[in-house]
Amino acid sequence: MYDCSTCSSQFHHKYNCDRHKLTCNFLYNSKAENQGECHDHSQNNLSSQDMYLLLQDMMRRIGKLENENRVYKQAYKRKINVIELLNTELQLSKMEFTFTEWLSKILIPDVSNKLQLVFETTLADGLIALFETAISNTDIEKLPIRTFDKKNGFYIYNKSRDKDNQLGIPQWSQINTDILYSHLRRISYRFEVAYKHWYDKNILLIDNSDELIEKSAIYYLKINDVRVSDQRRFNPVRQKLQTLLLTDTGIIM
């Protein structure tokens, strides 16, 4: 074993011990100088090689500290009870809409504006565009849907039903993928309604054009293709929502 005479640290390899001694002696002498206890400045006159080794060891120490700090933050976030923080009186007082109300009043009225986008791309793109617009038009502290990390999914502010199937007071709860997809199905149905309005409005043009007849069928399949599973249809929306909504837990602390 190799020992550092300054701090008594021990090392298995001489190279590591020598590298440590450079840094340790430098830091010890610098501290002593600041406290007025060191009068021999010659020990701090390092050669170019020693200075290189010193900087190398300092960078290693900084990297280690940054990694430890990152691990600590991740562990700390796991300990945070997000539900309890969201359901504090302070956080609840900031809310303006439940998630259901937000969908009905902010997001769903915009469906007809995104119908052409669905025709040109996919239903997922239309849903994503709806959420992007609704989120950008809502104060972040009033958003009734949140996510704080990609592992634990989403939290929504909504009324829940009691054992008698009666709606209670709004509160935050964590939802699974099935519940998220059920809300996305509800919004998708609104695209079906918008499609029906579009079709009725253009029925004369469609009936007199083979091209429009074919296109209208393709458009409808984009909105309601029963061959496509919810997982395939909605997973791109879920992933994009995680990116749009991901915030640090500091916002609720």
Kindly list the domain boundaries of the chain, sorted by start residue: 2-79, 82-252
Kindly report whether the global pTM for this prediction surpasses the value 0.75. no
Question: Would you give per-residue pLDDT tens digits along the chain (253 residues)?
Answer: 778 777 777 767 777 777 777 777 766 665 555 555 544 544 456 677 777 777 777 788 788 787 766 655 554 555 468 888 899 999 999 999 999 999 999 999 999 999 999 999 999 999 999 999 999 999 989 999 999 887 778 999 998 776 666 778 899 999 999 999 999 999 999 999 999 999 999 999 999 999 999 999 999 999 998 888 999 999 999 999 999 998 755 555 5
For tokens 């829940």, what's the residue?
A: 160
Q: How far apart are CA 157 and CA 167, in angstroms?
A: 13
Q: How far apart are CA 53 and CA 140, in angstroms?
A: 48
The strand pairing partners of 11, in sequence order, are 2
- Residue 161, SS3 per DSSP: strand
